[in-house]
Structure 1
Amino acid sequence: MKKFPMTVGGEKALREELDDLKTVQRPTVIASIAEAREHGDLKENAEYHAAREQQGFIEGRIQELEGKLGSAQVIDVTQIPHTGKVIFGTTVDLINMDTEDTVCYQIVGDDEANIKGGKISISSPIARALIGKEEGDVAVVQTPGGGVEYEIDQVRHI
């Protein structure tokens, strides 16, 4: 089975969501179904059908999360010696060579990516251009508008 990289924080978030689904949401929807059954005719019972649909979504999400966690390769970047190289899990401060704007990204697994939160997927064009580079290097990121050059200002293992 193919393993997919995931940060410690990403694994924790998925485990918390899975725990919530199993211990809070699943029992709640089961109780809702039981209550709706007590109301009688199930063919015309909108509450029953809504609760059954909700149950389907919850069970599907539980299976999805269990699959992701089962195929995850959790990487704790804080346990890796700091070499100044960009690797999975590191946080990178970049300077756009054209505009002098600075941005900060953490390179994470596909399921953890959140550009607004400063987390980019390992498979994104920016991350692919950065992996293996060191502080002070210039990385060229291919965009639809052409190549954009970023200087790697700082690499942090946090």
Structure 2
Amino acid sequence: MSLIWGGASNPDVNQAIAAFVASHINGCERGWEHFTTLGMVEHERLVAGVVFHNYAPEAGVIELSSASTSKRWLTRPMLRAMFGYPFDQIGCQMVVLRVSERNTVMAEIAQRFGFTANRIPRLRGRDEAEILFTFTDDEWRNHAVNRR
């Protein structure tokens, strides 16, 4: 598997990864306006993508949205790229994931990884809560992925 970056320097790849991610997240049909993407390719097929969006440089916060068709996508190189971009390259102090309360698989992954969960009732509509998961640069730097 190999990693590919979208972004302003690679707009076609950026759009393709964003479309892939949006197509795998319920309620994400509108996509995003300003974003950078990271993808994972296996046998010349996109199998996972991360969209970095809603960047607030004044607060040092960015949102991540991700999707995959492979259970093997969360490799050490992918995790280092996924968190290296916000924390090391653009200087964020926190990343945020927004996850439907119904997406129990992603919620479990985020909690096992070390994200802090904040459940907001009705944030996805009258009958659906959303969990805002937060993860700070300090938590990232102390994470097991970064230990040799």
Normalised to the residue count of structure 2, the TM-score between the two structures is: 0.23
Structure showing the higher strand proportion among its residues: 2
Give the greater-gyration-radius structure (CA).
1
Higher relative contact order (CA 8 A, sep 6+): 1
